[in-house]
Amino acid sequence: MPKLKTKSGCKKRFRFTATGKVKTPQAGKRHGMRKRTNRFIRNARGSTMMDDADVHRIVQYMPYGSK
């Protein structure tokens, strides 16, 4: 069987944890910070885990990164 290519956009944006969850950066922090509330900016620090309903797409795009 030929090797599968990993989507290069996914390998830049997502990481897998040891348990197989997908870690992703918080959304909504690129621009337009003046219109965001301080509470939103504070809560959107760091990274977050992707919802289980969307993980199957990332697993398809990164065939060798998941367990």
Span 22-65, pLDDT tens digits: 999 999 999 999 999 999 999 999 999 999 999 999 999 999 98
Which two structure tokens, joined as six digits, stand for 35?
């219109």
Of 63, 58, 60, residue with least CA distance to 14:
58
What are the extents of the domains in the chain?
8-61
Which two structure tokens, joined as six digits, stand for 51?
């919802």
Amino acid present at 60: Q
Amino acid present at 42: R
Q: Does domain 8-61 have CATH number 3.40.50.720?
A: no
The model's pTM: 0.80
